Amino acid sequence: MIKLQNLNLKYRKLNNPTLKEMNLEINPGEKVLIVGPSGSGKSTLGKLLNGLIPNSQTATVSGDNSAYGFALGKSTIFELSTKIGTIMQDQDAQFVGLNVAEDIAFYLENLSVDVDTMHTKVDEVMELLDITEIKDTDPSRLSGGEKQKVSLAGVLVNDVDCLLLDEPLANLDPQSAVDVMNLISDINHKLNKTIIMIEHRLEDALLINFDKVVVIDNGVIIANDAPSNIMKSDVLTNIGIRKPLFIEALSKANYDFTNVANALDYDSYDLSIFKDNIEGKSRDLNTNHNLLEVENLEFSYGEHNVLTDVNLNVKQGEIVSLLGANGTGKSTLCNAIIGINKDYNGSIKLNDESIDSLGIFERSNLIGYVMQNPNHYITETVVEDEVAFTLRQAGINKSEIDTKVEEVLEACRLLKYKKWPISMLSYGQRRRVTIAACLVKNPKLIILDEPTAGQDFETFKSIMDTVRDLRDKYNMSVLVITHNMQLAYEYSDRAIVLGSGKIQFDGKIENLYEQTEILKNNNLRSTSIQRFSKHHNISSNILGQILIGGEK
Residue 451 engages ligand ATP in binding (rule: CB under 6 A): no
For ligand ATP, which residue of 24, 31, 36, 499 counts as binding (CB under 6 A)?
36
Instruction: Please count the residues of the chain.
Output: 552
Residue 377 engages ligand ATP in binding (rule: CB under 6 A): no
438 vs 547 by CB, closer to Mg ion: 438
Residue 38 engages ligand ATP in binding (rule: CB under 6 A): yes
Please give the Cα distance from 161 to 191 (Å, whole number).
9
Residues in contact with Mg ion by CB under 5 A are 43, 331
Please give the Cα distance from 345 to 356 (Å, whole number).
9
80 vs 547 by CB, closer to another protein: 80
> Residue 67 is which amino acid?
A
Tell me which of Mg ion, ligand ATP, another protein, none is bound by residue 71, counting a contact when its beta carbon lies within the kind-specific cut-off of 5 to 8 angstroms: none
Q: In what order do the strands lie in the sheet with 494-499?
A: 353-354, 345-350, 290-301, 304-315, 502-507, 494-499, 319-323, 477-481, 445-449, 367-370
The one-character DSSP state at 421 is B
Contact in structure between 500 and 487 (CB atoms under 8 Å): no
The one-character DSSP state at 279 is P
Query: Looking at the DSSP assignment, which residues form a beta bridge with residue 33?
Result: 197, 213
CA nearest to 388, candidates 436, 335, 326: 436
Residue 190 engages ligand ATP in binding (rule: CB under 6 A): no
Residue 57 engages ligand ATP in binding (rule: CB under 6 A): yes
The site string for ligand ATP over 80-119 (x = CB under 6 A, - otherwise) reads ----------------------------------------
163-182 residues near ligand ATP, rule: CB under 6 A = none
Contact in structure between 61 and 48 (CB atoms under 8 Å): yes
Residue 306 engages ligand ATP in binding (rule: CB under 6 A): yes
Please give the Cα distance from 104 to 88 (Å, whole number).
15
Tell me which of Mg ion, ligand ATP, another protein, none is bound by residue 40, counting a contact when its beta carbon lies within the kind-specific cut-off of 5 to 8 angstroms: ligand ATP
Tell me which of ligand ATP, Mg ion, another protein, none is bound by residue 459, counting a contact when its beta carbon lies within the kind-specific cut-off of 5 to 8 angstroms: none
CA nearest to 374, candidates 364, 363, 383, 362: 383
Tell me which of Mg ion, another protein, ligand ATP, none is bound by residue 119, counting a contact when its beta carbon lies within the kind-specific cut-off of 5 to 8 angstroms: another protein
43 vs 462 by CB, closer to Mg ion: 43
Contact in structure between 242 and 236 (CB atoms under 8 Å): yes
Closest approach of another protein to the CB of residue 488, in Å: 25
For ligand ATP, which residue of 326, 477, 530, 533 counts as binding (CB under 6 A)?
326
The span of 92-100, 329-337, 387-395, 513-521 binding ligand ATP (CB under 6 A) equals 329-337
Q: In what order do the strands lie in the sheet with 84-87?
A: 84-87, 162-166, 194-198, 31-35, 212-217, 220-225
Residue 18 engages ligand ATP in binding (rule: CB under 6 A): yes
The span of 188-196, 263-271, 322-330, 398-406 binding ligand ATP (CB under 6 A) equals 322-330
In order of 245, 424, 449, the CA distances from 470 in angstroms are 26, 25, 17
Please give the Cα distance from 234 to 28 (Å, whole number).
29
175 vs 326 by CB, closer to ligand ATP: 326
Please give the Cα distance from 168 to 459 (Å, whole number).
19
Closest approach of ligand ATP to the CB of residue 330, in Å: 3
Residue 324 engages ligand ATP in binding (rule: CB under 6 A): yes
Residue 545 engages ligand ATP in binding (rule: CB under 6 A): no
Tell me which of another protein, ligand ATP, Mg ion, none is bound by residue 306, counting a contact when its beta carbon lies within the kind-specific cut-off of 5 to 8 angstroms: ligand ATP
What residues make contact with ligand ATP under the rule CB under 6 A? 11, 13-14, 18, 36, 38-44, 57, 144, 301, 304, 306, 324, 326-332, 456
